């Protein structure tokens, strides 16, 4: 029972970090990244479809994304979806591919993005702390029901705290890397 709680909490904490990494990848840092388009969905024959499922997305230059749709008739819909998204970019097409030039970020926009990144990192930390509380409650319940000894319970609570501390350090590393990426001119 204790091993299940520990492995579950560890997996869920790693999931929180993974979610943060994926979430931050979709934030524009001034250079082209196919992950920018992960949240953009296109109305494709009545179905909301992610852009990355409608064609190949390439990065031929640091500030240029190129989308090569498999179905050329979807180009206008893809363009509309990109314009409607909150990316702040204007796509252009030549009938075969869609080009998205990524404009350089202003200093003010960089600072705003850093605030957003910090907020999302803090949300991830809160999620990790909630997971810690949940695991601690489960261990204390086992201790109360005499399923484990007090010593075993104390040992497990210490392990949960170490896991929490390590996970929060990992979140801090992700945050610092993204901040550096955004502030880089």
Say how many domains are in the chain: 2
Q: Is the pLDDT of residue 118 over 90?
A: yes
Q: Is residue 89 located within the same domain as residue 130? A: no
Report residue 61's pLDDT band, with 50, 70 and 90 as the boundaries. Answer: confident
Token output for 62? 């640091």
Q: Is residue 171 located within the same domain as residue 111? A: yes
Last residue of a domain, one of 101, 136, 155: 101
Mean pLDDT (the chain) is 88
Last residue of a domain, one of 57, 73, 101: 101
pLDDT tens by residue, 129-153: 999 999 999 999 998 998 888 899 8
Q: Is the pLDDT of residue 21 over 80?
A: yes
Its pTM surpasses 0.85: no
Q: Is residue 97 located within the same domain as residue 110? A: no
Please tell me the predicted confidence (pLDDT) of residue 23.
Answer: 84
Could you give the C-alpha distances from 99 to 13, 57, 75, 96, in angstroms and in order? Answer: 38, 10, 11, 10
Q: Give 170 or 116, the one with higher predicted confidence.
A: 170
Q: Is residue 68 located within the same domain as residue 115? A: no
pLDDT tens by residue, 79-113: 988 888 877 788 898 888 999 988 777 888 788 88
Q: Which of 90, 22, 78 is nearest to 51 (CA)?
A: 78
Sign of CA dihedral 85, 42, 48, 27: negative
Q: Is residue 18 located within the same domain as residue 50? A: no
Last residue of a domain, one of 62, 82, 101: 101
Q: Which of 21-30, 38-47, 77-86 has the lowest mean pLDDT?
A: 21-30
Q: Is residue 131 located within the same domain as residue 82? A: no
Q: Is residue 110 located within the same domain as residue 166? A: yes
**Opening angle at CA 148, ends 147 and 151, nearest 5:** 160
Rounded to whole angstroms, how far apart are CA atoms 87 and 51? 14
Rounded to whole angstroms, how far apart are CA atoms 155 and 29? 43
Please tell me the predicted confidence (pLDDT) of residue 47.
Answer: 87
Which structural domain, as residue segments, surrounds residue 121? 2-25+106-183
Starting at the edge strand found earlier in the chain, the sheet holding 91-93 runs: 55-61, 64-69, 98-101, 91-93
Q: Is the pLDDT of residue 168 over 80?
A: yes
């Amino acid at each position: 029972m204790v091993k299940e709680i520990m492995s579950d909490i560890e997996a869920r904490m790693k999931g929180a970090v993974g979610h943060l990494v994926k979430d931050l990848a979709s934030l524009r840092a001034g250079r082209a990244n196919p992950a920018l388009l992960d949240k953009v969905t296109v109305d494709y024959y009545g179905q909301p479809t992610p852009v990355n499922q409608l064609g190949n997305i390439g990065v031929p230059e640091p500030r240029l994304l190129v989308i090569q749709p498999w179905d050329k008739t979807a180009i206008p819909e893809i363009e509309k979806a990109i314009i409607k998204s909150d990316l702040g970019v204007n796509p252009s097409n030549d009938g075969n591919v869609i080009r998205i030039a990524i404009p350089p970020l202003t200093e003010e926009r960089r600072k705003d993005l850093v605030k957003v990144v910090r907020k999302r990192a803090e949300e991830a930390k809160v999620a990790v702390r909630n997971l810690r509380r949940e695991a601690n409650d489960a261990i204390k319940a086992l201790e109360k029901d005499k399923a484990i000894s007090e010593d075993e319970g104390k040992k497990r609570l210490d392990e949960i705290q170490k896991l929490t501390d390590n996970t929060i350090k990992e979140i801090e590393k992700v945050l610092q890397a993204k901040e550096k990426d955004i502030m880089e001119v």
